[in-house]
Structure 1
Amino acid sequence: MKEREAGGSRFLYDPFDVANARIEANERVLEERWLALTFRLKAIETALERLEKRLWLAVFGVVSVILAQGVAELIQMSSGG
């Protein structure tokens, strides 16, 4: 971009320089938005991994309770029966 030497003018850029400046500004905005999006996606991915671990822990807990009840029932049947 080539700035004009005249001070105080409301026309600071040549017409083609304005278009280039707008394109560059839009590219910078797009890059910042993309970075923010990737940051949010990483946070969501981390939260989903934590949730998955908790769900598996709950599933294993339920399965272990069911197995413990089955074993207790077998022990009771063999000793009491």
Structure 2
Amino acid sequence: MSGREATGGSRYLYAPFDAANARIEANERVLEERWQALSFRLQGIETALERLEKRLWLAVFGVVSVILAQGINHLLNLNVGG
């Protein structure tokens, strides 16, 4: 029997504990969680930007179609009136 077993108690009282290593591992886990949250937020922002871009292009095409329709209407009125 070794001296550790004879005294009893928790094995954690005698096991070496590397606080620096535990702190580094905890920081790595926290950074990983933060990175995942950041990636999730960025994905949401990218999706919102894609939807906004589609809406902007729809607005641009709408304005161009109105201008073309007015131009065609003006040309038709010139031909009818002339």
Please report the TM-score for the alignment, with normalisation by the length of structure 2.
0.81
Q: Relative contact order, CA 8 A, sep 6+: which one is greater? A: 1
RMSD: 2.1
Shift of 1:13: 6.7
Shift of 1:12: 8.5
* Matched-pair identity in %: 70
Correspondence for 1:78 = 79
How far apart, in 1, do the equivalents of 2:64 and 2:57 lie?
A: 10
What corresponds to 1:64 in structure 2? 65
Q: 1:6 & 1:34 partners in 2: Cα distance?
A: 41
Q: Distance in 2 between matches of 1:12 and 1:58?
A: 72
- Count the aligned residue pairs: 74
How far the C-alpha of 1:68 sits from its partner, in A, is 0.1
Rounded Cα–Cα distance in structure 2 between residues aligned with 1:12 and 1:47: 55
Instruction: State TM-score, norm by structure 1.
Output: 0.82
The letter for the 1-side match of 2:50 is E
Runs of 5+ consecutive residues of structure 2 not aligned to the other structure: 1-7
| Structure 1 runs not aligned, ≥5 long | none
Question: In the aligned structure 2, how far is the partner of 1:26 from the partner of 1:61?
Answer: 52
Q: Which has the higher helix share?
A: 2
Max Rg structure = 2
Q: Which amino acid aligns with 2:42?
A: L
